[in-house]
Chains A and B, each alone.
Chain A
Amino acid sequence: MSGGAHPLLESRALAVSIGGKTICSDLSLRFNAAECWAILGLNGAGKTTLIHTLAGIRPAAAGSVWLDGAPLEAQPRREIARKLGLLAQDSYDAFDATVLETVLIGRHPHLPRWGWWQWETALDERIAQDALATVELETLAQRNVSSLSGGERERLAIAAVLTQQPHVYLLDEPTSHLDTHRQLAVLGLFARKAAAEACSVLMSLHDASLAARFCTHALLLFDDGDVAAGPAADVLNADALTRLYRHAMREIRVENLRLFIPA
């Protein structure tokens, strides 16, 4: 599946723009197995747009995205969905559904295309139950989704993308609505997943300290369409973050943690 020769996900001379605003103009990056990337930027810098483009659900202005050594356009959508999972922001529910039903949606690309009677197997259900246990929602499996809190919904969405079992994870603000210890748990989970299961994880975050703590790499999206990318140790520093957030940032060290705080 993921031969060492090529990266799991790759952008080649990728240009992304939305509403006339350029987010990046010539982005060539390789996202390899065992790498966990943080995408940082101001509100409206284009984090979500870039993630959607990398997921192939939004056309690029120029350039291309490659998944597993082949361009996205050359791969059937269902095949892409078996390799690449997207955690979208704020999915709301028009109709009632149980927590377990919602998580099982993640099995969709793995089930046969034709044959609506092809229900999820016991194995699919076990994968879903395991994912619920991972985010500590297993006791709520039969609850109605509409009765969940914001944080519980976020964890449910995370469980759904885990159930999809991709090896590239594109996570749009996986920590939103979560309290501190759950933020740490979720980021730790994906950092471990990248390292232990040779996955590639890209996630948009708002907290540079958390990015420095959990991510191996970082991608900074500046307002002016400029981009900085590389190992987190190099890219994340007070100067770059000051420019990124247009507010003076300071780096302090507590034991082996690097923390970035507004001055």
Chain B
Amino acid sequence: MALRPTPALALLALLALASLVLAMAYGSVALSLQQWQDALSGNPGLANDLVWQLRLPRALAAFAVGALLAVAGALMQVLLRNPLADPYVLGVSGGAAVGALTAVMLGAAAAGMSLCAFAGAFGSTLLVFGLARGAGGWTQSRLLLTGVVVAAGWGAVITLMLALAPDQQLRGMLFWLIGDLSAAESPWRALAALLIGLGGALPLARELNVLARGEVTALALGVNVRRLRPLVYLLASLLTAAAVTTAGSVGFVGLVVPHMVRLLVGNDMRILLPASALGGASLVLLADMLARSLLAPMQLPVGAITAVIGVPIFLYLLSRKVKS
């Protein structure tokens, strides 16, 4: 596979790798050099368990969640031809949240919560998909409006659930809503979803470039728009569902990362998709490292950190764009 070699892509790969190493190296407990040697050489002990049993799975989960959200964001933006679209704009995370919170209120275990979150995300996807098709064909504005309204509906349900929930459950529910990796059980599902998602999206990259030029042009250039759009929508929703199921609704990664990456590599989806994956992975890895170590031993929800980093960057990019 001869990806056109771009220095920016290599740079992002290095950044993701460095973030992964940092996420393994730093945390609530500082490790000495000796402990690192123990861990790296596989000597059994506290350091070994900490690095390989705790930090590695969590770092991999952060990697996968960041990459999933950023790729889903890039796909949603080109699907809706709207630079303000993100993975959550069409109500996927709202549906997932209602599912997860229902599980919490019913006292389900973590596994049940993931299952309910996934069911909620998928159900919401199908709901928007069905409603937006309606009688006529698909249009970007109809899809966007349907999604936004469904998301608003989920928001109201979530507020009601929070108001009705017993106090001792509120903290867990809030952490889920903000996005939190401390409850992430195993990274493998999210990593598998990432592989499948990228494998499904990359062959469509050039068609997505054409679709970004507008529907009429895309049709005239031989792109099967009627098949491509639902496909991309389902793909982006599945990526989002996998991320949300692992870490709750981590904000701003899907919106901000594709924009940051665009500044580096341009808007060619063939590069933008893998670059977004690497950029998103790096951002969530670094944010989660901060979430674990800033107020150690207390853990902050990673979603709060991504938003704190994401909001000023996004505002900066937006103002820069207005000037030019």
Contact = CB atoms under 8 A, between A and B. Distances in A.
B323 interface: no
Contact of A81 (B81, B82, B220, B268): B220
A108 B206 CA distance: 8
Interface residues on A, range: 35 or more
Contacts of A86: 216-217, 220
Interface in B101-152: none
Interface stretch (B51-59, B165-173, B207-215): B207-215
Interface string B87-108: 0000000000000000000000
A57 to B, nearest CB: 4
Interface string A84-117: 1110100111111110011001101101001111
A253 to B, nearest CB: 38
Contact of B82 (A55, A94, A117, A164): A94
B266 interface: yes
Contacts of B2: 117
A246 interface: no
Contacts of B230: none
A77 B203 contact: no
A95 B221 contact: no
A116 B222 contact: no
Contact of B217 (A76, A88, A95, A114): A88
A263 to B, nearest CB: 37
B212 A119 contact: no
A164 B213 contact: no
Contacts of A118: 206
A250 interface: no
A91 to B, nearest CB: 5
B216 A102 contact: no
A153 to B, nearest CB: 12
Nearest to B270: A116
Contacts, number: 88
B224 A77 contact: yes
A91 B222 contact: no
B293 to A, nearest CB: 37
Interface residues of B, number: 33
B83 interface: yes
A13 B78 CA distance: 39
A52 B216 contact: yes
Interface in B220-238: 220-224
B220 A85 contact: yes
B78 A95 contact: yes
Contacts of B1: 117
B221 A109 contact: yes
A119 to B, nearest CB: 5
A129 to B, nearest CB: 18
B14 to A, nearest CB: 21
A88 B220 contact: yes
A137 interface: no
B222 A95 contact: no
B3 A105 contact: no
Contacts of A55: 220
Contacts of B266: 96-98, 101
Contacts of A96: 262, 266-267
A79 B3 CA distance: 26
Given A111-B206, A116-B202, A117-B3, A81 B222 contact: yes
Interface string A69-81: 0000000111111
Contacts of A98: 266
B31 interface: no
B10 to A, nearest CB: 16
B320 interface: no
Given A91-B213, A91-B216, A116 B221 contact: no
Residue of A57, A88, A94, A96 with highest tally of chain B CB at under 10 A:
A94
Contacts of B214: 88, 91-92
A57 B204 contact: no
A77 B216 contact: no
Contacts of A102: 213
B270 A117 contact: yes
Contact of A109 (B3, B4, B209, B222): B222
B213 to A, nearest CB: 6
A81 B221 contact: yes
Contacts of A115: 203
18 contacts: A55-B220, A76-B222, A85-B220, A88-B214, A91-B214, A91-B217, A94-B81, A95-B77, A95-B212, A96-B266, A97-B266, A108-B209, A108-B210, A116-B206, A117-B3, A117-B4, A117-B270, A164-B221
Given A88-B220, A95-B83, 12 more contacts: A84-B220, A91-B213, A92-B214, A93-B213, A96-B267, A101-B266, A105-B213, A105-B217, A109-B221, A109-B222, A116-B206, A117-B1
Closest 5 CB pairs of A and B: A81-B222, A78-B222, A86-B220, A94-B81, A57-B219
Interface of A: 52, 55, 57, 76-82, 84-86, 88, 91-98, 101-102, 105-106, 108-109, 111, 114-119, 164
